[in-house]
Amino acid sequence: MDNRNQISIIVVLYQPSPDDLNTIARLSNLYHVIAIDNSAKENVFPGPQELLHYYFDGINKGIADAQNIGIGHLSDMKDITHVVFLDQDSRVSDDYPLAIAHEFDRIAQSKKLSVLGPSVKNAETGEDYKSVIHKDHLTDMDFIPRREVISSGSCTTIDCLKDIGLNDARLFIDYVDFEWCWRANSKGYVCGITPNLHISHHVGQKTFSLLGYIIIISSPGRYFYQFRNYLWLVRRKYVPLQWKIAMGIKNVARLFYFPLLVKQGGQSWKYMVKGIRAGLRK
């Protein structure tokens, strides 16, 4: 990968802030940016956007289908070799997409790499997000293998997308990036992150501490997708057993403590139950 003309950024919008639009407009003067807007009303970007490809139809298609639409439009861009996925609130430097693409190529020289993400920091605290289950192991390539990588700030290639396939659009929003990584793993690929690049990211709406653990709280409606999608994914052979068990325990616990300890926990609980009902259906 030699230059910015070989990189496309795919970003999904949903009721973006003016600052979100400013960031996307800035990047679209340097890279091909495909913006798929799931908002109810069309958004207007400030200033010139030389390389912006904007798609709006007034329907919230979910992040999985919206990203698939963006990937589909890459066929019209013959020079593109690398794809960088950003959230609308991702704040990156002008050089970040080029840097993550270079890191991907460097690591892919010795590994069958499917997706590379940055080290992700909590946008509020500045601390790295770390799993309580998995321990990171830095390799001599400045590469940290991960079973799954969140899509925000991640980089893959056109060749990987052709081989592994598109997102599972039925998942709509939750575990979309995880499922793609697990599918890649089943085809012999590895996923991971690089400590050489960082990105700030908001996970959930807020957090609170329970028995020494930081609990990430999402909006109530998200729990429908989390519970439904878990029950869909738990039936798939390529989904890691450890994740199935850990998430199963976490979801059962949520059913008990959310109504008692979490603000709007009762409303979240109702969406959890709806998700269970939907997930039990084939």
Which amino acid does the sequence have at 206? Answer: K
152 falls in which pLDDT band (50, 70, 90)?
A: very high
Task: Write the class of the CATH domain 4-201.
Answer: alpha beta
Cα 182-133-195 angle, rounded to 5 deg:
75
Q: Is the pLDDT of residue 208 over 80?
A: no
Q: Which residues pair with 35 in a beta bridge?
A: 11, 54
Q: Which two tokens stand for residue 71?
A: 């990937």
State the alpha helices, DSSP H only, in 51-203: 62-73, 96-108, 158-164, 176-186
Q: For residues 193 and 197, what is the distance between their CA atoms, to the nearest angstrom? A: 9
Q: Closest Cα to residue 247, out of 230, 269, 262?
A: 230
Question: Which of 72-86, 179-193, 253-267 is most confident?
Answer: 179-193
Q: Is pLDDT of 132 > 60?
A: no
Over residues 252-274, the mean pLDDT reads 94
Give per-residue burial for 12-43: e unless 16+ CB within 10 Å, then b: bbbebeeebbebbbbbbebbbbbbbbbeeeeb
pLDDT value, residue 270: 97
Q: What pLDDT is stored for residue 112 in this prediction?
A: 97
Q: Taking the chain, what is the end-to-end CA distance rounded to the nearest angstrom?
A: 43
Q: 153-198, pLDDT tens digit by residue?
A: 999 999 999 999 999 999 999 999 999 999 999 999 999 999 999 9
Q: Which of 30-39, 138-147, 248-257 has the lowest mean pLDDT?
A: 138-147
Residue 73 CB: number of other CB atoms within 10 A? 16
Q: What is the DSSP letter of 217?
A: E
Q: Which helix (H) or strand (E) holds 41?
A: none
Question: Domain limits of the chain?
Answer: 4-201, 206-280
